Amino acid sequence: MTTAFAVIRDNTPASAIPRGAAVAMGNFDGVHRGHRAVIGACLEMARSRGKPAFAVTFEPHPRAFFNPQNPEFWLADINGKLRLLAGTGLDGVILLGFDAKRAATPADAFIHDELVGRLGVSGIAVGYNFHFGKGRVGSPSLLASELPKLGIEVDVQPHVDVGDLPVSSSAIRVALSEGRIQDATAMLTAPWFVTGEVIHGDKRGRELGYPTANLRLSPTCGLKHGIYAVRVEVGGRRIDGVANFGRRPTFDNGAPLLEVFLFDFKGDLYGQTLDVAFIDFIRPEAKFDSIAALITQMDDDTIRARAALAAAPDAFPKLGKIG
């Protein structure tokens, strides 16, 4: 019997926090290949000691706290991040609220009061460029100089590249904004995904022979407008499809909407929650002179999407369940 993925918060009683855990600390936006190297080092530490392994992360992201006037394109919301972390083999996550008090906490106080005192960690893994504490004074070198004196192991993971692609959350955002889905997948280790509830649309897709499940994504979503081969999970079932993300310039040029046409599917999805994984980019969004020209292009998009999906039959992010 497996233990549920635990979420420890600031208000979790001390008696519910396992002492001696190894932790991977970071912001983990997207849980990409570099993050997974840190998590892998944490898991190795934990297994060598017979202790649990946890991620330590912050909500909101510190940049969101310091710059609320400039909302960013995050690769995952908090629920998506937790599900991705739950799929890595970790036993749980320690989710620390990032507010004015935590922003003002000196790095040495965070180490001694939080990591050592409250959490009682036995080992910690971080990335080479992770900083924490007031003024971002806390660093991997500070951890490496202070924690071993207390018998706590420190592992600092170097930068990770995929071919000539330096892996970072920022680089993945750029790739998605340019429609470079395969590059994003390579940096993430699995397809990028979004989660949303199916809403009512104008039913135009049904009139065109392509009924769609419509999802309203975050206004900050920076994904390139265009047509994508997608794989959808709903109710434990995976279904291939083709999707348009954009403003529908042939019709109304309205607010961005994700419209997903599921292959060989019949049913009512309104109100249901879908996980949509982006497998490949088909083409940019375009305006057509006639409905006939649009339908001809949609037919071609479907053929190309089916081919892309057939070439990646198992592609989907590994998502765990949150306890």
Question: Residue range 188-200: average pLDDT?
Answer: 97
Listed in sequence order, the residues at least 6 apart from 299 whose beta carbon sits closer than 8 Å to its beta carbon are none
Number of Cβ within 10 Å of residue 127's Cβ equals: 23
Give strand ranges (E) for the chain.
6-8, 22-25, 53-59, 92-97, 123-127, 153-157, 161-162, 165-166, 193-197, 213-215, 226-234, 237-246, 257-262, 273-284
Distance between alpha carbon 24 and the CA centroid of its chain, in Å? 16
| CA 140 – CA 138 distance, rounded (Å) | 7
CA-based angle 6:7:12, to the nearest 5?
A: 110
Question: Residue range 271-289: average pLDDT?
Answer: 96
Res 203: pLDDT: 67
Res 1: pLDDT: 39
Question: Residue range 210-226: average pLDDT?
Answer: 95
Question: Residue range 106-134: average pLDDT?
Answer: 97
pLDDT over 60 (residue 2): no
Question: Residue range 131-149: average pLDDT?
Answer: 97
Res 194: pLDDT: 98
pTM score, two decimals?
A: 0.95
Kindly report the average pLDDT of the chain as a whole number.
95
Question: Residue range 266-280: average pLDDT?
Answer: 95
Joined tokens for residue 113: 């009061």
Res 13: pLDDT: 95
Confidence at 264, pLDDT banded by 50, 70, 90? very high
Tell me which of 238 and 210 has the higher pLDDT.
238
pLDDT tens-digit readout, 287-312: 999 999 999 999 999 999 999 999 99
Question: Residue range 212-238: average pLDDT?
Answer: 96
How large a percentage of the chain has pLDDT more than 70?
Answer: 98
How large a percentage of the chain has pLDDT more than 90?
Answer: 89
Res 169: pLDDT: 98
Complete domains list, the chain, with CATH: 8-162 (3.40.50.620), 191-310 (2.40.30.30)
Question: Residue range 268-280: average pLDDT?
Answer: 96
In angstroms, the Cα distances linking 194 to 77, 125, 254, 312 are 9, 28, 20, 18
